[in-house]
Structure 1
Amino acid sequence: MSQSSELDESRRLGSGIVLAAAGCAIGLVAVFLTARRGVTEWPFAAVFGLLIAVGETVQFRVDGTRNRAPIATSAALGYVMLRGPALHAPPEVAQIVAVTGLATLAGVFPRAIAGLPWDLVISSRRVLSVACAAITFVLITPEDFAWNGSWTHAIALTGAMLLGVLSAGVVDALVGAGQDTEKFNRPFPSALRDELVVMTRIGLAMGISGMLLAAGTSLIGLWAVPLVVVPLLLTQFAFRRFASAQRTYRATVRSMARSTEIAGFSSPGQNARTARLAVAIGNDLGLTPARMEALEYAALLSGVGQLALADPSPGGASLLRTREERQRAAEIGASVIERSGVLDHVAEIVRHSNDPYRQGRANNADIPVESGIVNVALAYEQLVGEGSGQSPDKAMESVGLGIGAEYDPVVVESLRRVIGRGFRF
């Protein structure tokens, strides 16, 4: 295993081990307490546990970074907020955590047996966030508050549900931001910003579904479960189709990027290495997920325009070409990318990826910083790659000589931090 792989693995396991251990410990304590006190409202525990398990089994990855289990999350939050005439007594916090934890394991087990991707850390985070929601909901809701036709109780319960859902979302966002900071060296405020955006777009929808599930089940019993779950299943189907389209989209971009390697205009793996470094710099600068995706695509496709040139550069070293040739290749590449109709921002990044900083972004704030990132990442990759073979320190020194003139000073300093943390191709 390379030094880079070992570093990435240690970052991945760092807080993940703590979270998984915390989730398991809390789950075991909850199971012990529930076994001692006995399970109340068995039918509700069984149905909601089954929903959570099924939701975990059919989880999917929609954004390339985290598995999503909307049915499991909504069912767990719904079980937290059961209060009404259909139940003799609401479930206790320990029972809620125990049912959620055992059902989560029951759902993950088939995926592990089938060899499907699963993430114990993400599942543990869901258990922890559900425990926070349960504690919040119980603390602020007296036991006599239920869906009984009283507007006062209805308003109070709705407010308590919202606070429970928000507490779960905020805790998960804080934990997720900490993990992103640890794994990708992102600034914590930027990581938290992105987690909160995800919470408002996806998490809130799952929370509201859980509230509807809890309200309906509390009023009319388990007959309400199919009424809420069917729309959730349709929503999950739509998300899975979207995730599949995204995977196809990424595969198409990577295939386009490999065309320059096949034609000999870039060295094998050069585009992927450049993209990896560009993403590391983008993480360090705290770019949003949408801009990060565009940056990665631009780095992968930055050499497409070279296919219009007469002959490839030796070893794919485009730095050996004249500035006019490089800028013409960038313009041609941008024009090709624009014809896709969906990569306009990527095309704009590629168009300015060979502009000298002093003549470009220093005087034109409309030029995206991503262009400067691609420029620096490509230069560094070619200096340490097969064409030159310089050491990282020597390559960093060479890039530093062009700071302020050829390269964006902010990006070069970010590169220095990324390399200083042990980044290796």
Structure 2
Amino acid sequence: MKVPALPFPARERRVAVEVLVAASAVMALIARVRGLEGVALAGVALLVGAGFLLTARTPIGTVPLGYALVIALACLMPPELFYPVVSLGVLAAVPVLFFRYDAADTGKRVLHWALVSYAAGGAAAVMRLIVPGTSPMRTLLQVSVAGCIFLGTDLVLRNWRAPRAELIRLRLAAPVYLSLLCAAGLIAVAYRRDGVGTALVAVVPLVLTRFAFDRYAAAQAAYQQTIKALSIVPEIAGVTPLGHGERSALYAVAVSRKFGLSDDSVERAATAARLHHIGYVTVDDPQEATHRGDRRMLAGLGADILRQTRFLADVGDLVEGIHSTHPRFHTREAAAVRVATMFDHLLDGDTSRVEGGLALVAASQKDAYGSAAALALRMAIEEDPELVDRAVASAAPLTEAVDGTPGRHG
């Protein structure tokens, strides 16, 4: 009888076996030194390592669910036990990290996890001195402070490694971190109240949170793919330059952030920059739309298309406002999109035209918001000289796929 093949590649099976053997050896050594208590501590360390490897896709990137366990342990264990357990947990995850990533990325993750964990351990030790006791309220207070230090350190490290254009804002991170903090508090209170069994039950909501975040991430990915698919319709049709929407979106984001707009407004401006030419595909000969009146008409047609989707209705209003002369459409968002698209049209993918493009954009503005947007774009490029290169690179896959087919409208 033929034995069916295991559903894992040979290399992955080998790594799993090596991790199991290494973990068993470590647990045997600890058991010999510290007895059953050592076995228990080694088991907790393996749970910590597994928690670091079990991640959820969130709006701020992948986040280990083990963060909640580490925060809880920081408040439940004395420092002389917490630091060795966390260190062993991080080391237990290293073989799997080497399998998933290269050496440099593995090192960054190990350092990241160690720093945030040690910060939480220090904060928890201080809180136990300031607020001693094991009552539920005191436990929650200890967890809250240690968790804020842990998650604050995590946010700083994420932004430390990220380019300026990809900095994570607290408003976006807050729901993710609040979920982890609540889970940590639930685990700590459950353990101190009823022991290990109840603490394990308290982990269930954390697992469910992972599925909720994964569903949200899938919905966001589908949304972004829909936007990008719609944005390339005019480009593939040859009525706008290839990659114009994607490049304009990056410039619109930069200007919107310089304006200090909310994350929702920044996202709306980026989406409008990608879709502002969707109306061009509704007429027989969009190449004849060269004067401002026709462009207002095409913007209105595009806005109608987007409003019919309902979930893009607010983006449709913004698209209509880009070329509108009505005062109600004179907003910072509309100015950001208008300046971004004009700048990309003037550059036409040539980074040597940056200074001239900025000067022409500034000279062509007729209202205060437009002038402010032109100034904001200049400031964004001066502060982030790689912005234009990133914008050009963002559209490279499409331009290379179509082999440089020329567009005709900006």
The TM-score, its normalising length taken from structure 2, stands at 0.75
Q: Show the counterpart of 1:139.
A: 126
Q: Give the distance between the partners of 2:133 and 2:227, measured in 1 at CA.
A: 53
8 Å contact 1:383–1:390 — kept in the other structure? no
- Whole-Å separation in 1 of the counterparts to 2:294 and 2:175: 44
Q: CA deviation at 1:138?
A: 1.1
In the TM superposition, residue 170 of structure 1 has moved relative to its aligned partner by: 3.8
Tell me whether 1:304 sits opposite 2:303 in the alignment.
no
Q: How does 1:3-42 map to 2 (within 5 A)?
A: 41-42=37-38
Query: CA 1:173–1:331 in 2, change beyond 3 Å: closer, same or farther?
Result: same
The correspondence of residues 353-368 of structure 1 with structure 2, limited to 5 A, is 353-355=322-324, 359-360=325-326, 363-364=327-328, 367-368=330-331
Q: Aligned equivalents of 1:122 and 1:282: distance in 2?
A: 32
Alignment equivalent of 2:63, drawn from 50, 58, 68: 68
**Residue type of the partner of 1:340?**
T
- Deviations, residues 153-194 of structure 1 (Å, cap 9, x unaligned): 4433332222222333344445556666x62297xxxx6xx3
1:169 and 2:151 matched:
yes
Contact 2:73 2:82 in 1 (8 A): yes
Indicate the SS of the match to 1:352: helix
Q: How does 1:388-407 map to 2 (within 5 A)?
A: 391-405=353-367
8 A Cα contact 2:124 2:143, kept in partner? yes
**Residue 192 (structure 2) pairs with residue 218 (structure 1):** yes
For 1:414, the equivalent position in structure 2 comes to: 376
Q: 1:349 corresponds to which residue?
A: 318
Gaps of 5+ in 2: 1-29, 393-410
Is 1:157 aligned with 2:157?
no
Work out whether residues 275 and 296 of structure 1, in 8 Å CA contact, stay in contact via their aligned partners in 2: yes
CA separation in 1, counterparts of 2:368 and 2:286?
23
Contact map agreement 2:131 2:138 (CA 8 A) in 1? no
Find the aligned partners of 2:69 and 2:92 in 1 and give their Cα distance: 15
Counterpart residue type for residue 45 of structure 2: G
Q: How big is the shift at 1:286?
A: 3.1
State the identity %.
20
Among candidates 279, 300, 304, match of residue 331 of structure 1 = 300
The alpha carbon displacement at 1:53 in A equals 2.5
Residue 348 of structure 2 corresponds to residue 385 of structure 1: yes
Measure, in 1, the Cα distance between the counterparts of 2:267 and 2:253.
Answer: 9
- Note if contact 2:136-2:189 (Cα within 8 Å) is conserved in structure 1: no
Secondary structure of 2:322 counterpart:
coil
Equivalent-residue separation in structure 1 for 2:67 and 2:201 (angstroms): 17
Counterpart among 209, 212, 222 of residue 248 in structure 1: 222
CA 1:102/1:410 → structure 2, altered by over 3 Å: closer, same or farther? Answer: farther
> Which secondary structure does the structure 2 equivalent of 1:252 belong to?
helix
Q: Which amino acid aligns with 2:120?
A: A
Contact 1:260 1:304 (8 Å CA) reproduced? yes
8 Å CA contact 1:184, 1:283 repeated in 2: no
Secondary structure of the residue aligned to 1:141 is helix
Is 1:77 matched up with 2:58? no
Structure-to-structure mapping, 1:42-191, within 5 angstroms: 42-63=38-59, 65-69=60-64, 71-82=65-76, 90-92=77-79, 95-104=81-90, 106-107=92-93, 109-110=95-96, 112-114=98-100, 121=108, 124-142=111-129, 145-147=132-134, 153-174=135-156, 183-184=164-165
Q: 1:414 to 1:234 in 2, by over 3 A?
A: same
- TM-superposed CA distance for 1:342, in Å, is 1.1
Change in 2 beyond 3 A, CA 1:108/1:326 = farther
Question: How far 1:326 moved relative to its partner?
Answer: 1.0
Shift of 1:346: 1.5
Q: Measure how far apart 1:406 and its partner are.
A: 9.1
User: Which has the larger helix fraction?
Assistant: 2
Structure 2 CA distance for aligned equivalents of residues 333 and 57 of structure 1: 45
| One-letter amino acid of the structure 1 residue matched with residue 118 of structure 2 | A
Aligned equivalent of 1:376, options 336, 339, 343: 339
- What SS does structure 2 have at the residue aligned with 1:60? strand
1:234 and 2:208 matched: yes
Relative to the length of structure 1, the TM-score reads 0.73
CA contact (8 A) 2:58 2:176 kept: no
Contact 1:145 1:157 in 2 (8 A): no
Corresponding letter in the other structure for 1:242: Y
Give, as a single letter, the amino acid of the residue that structure 2 aligns with 1:51: L
CA deviation profile, 1:9-52 (whole Å, cap 9, x unmatched): xxxxxxxxxxxxxxxxxxxxxxxxxx9xx889535533443333
1:48-68 superposed Cα distances (whole Å, 9 cap, x missing partner): 4333322332313322x4222
CA distance in 1, matches of 2:330, 2:39: 60
- Three-state SS of the structure 1 residue aligned to 2:285 is coil
SS at match of 1:391: helix
**Structure 1 residue ranges without an equivalent (≥5):** 1-34, 83-89, 148-152
Give the Cα–Cα distance (whole angstroms) in 2 for the partners of residues 54 and 61 of structure 1. 16
In the aligned structure 2, how far is the partner of 1:108 from the partner of 1:304?
A: 48
Q: 1:271 to 1:198 in 2, by over 3 A?
A: closer
* Deviation at residue 390 of structure 1 after TM alignment: 7.4
More moved, 160-169 vs 388-397: 388-397
**In 2 relative to 1, CA 92–405 (structure 1 residues): closer, same or farther, beyond 3 Å?**
closer
C-alpha RMSD over aligned residues = 3.3
- Contact kept? 2:140, 2:189, Cα under 8 Å: no
In structure 1, what residue type is equivalent to 2:137? I
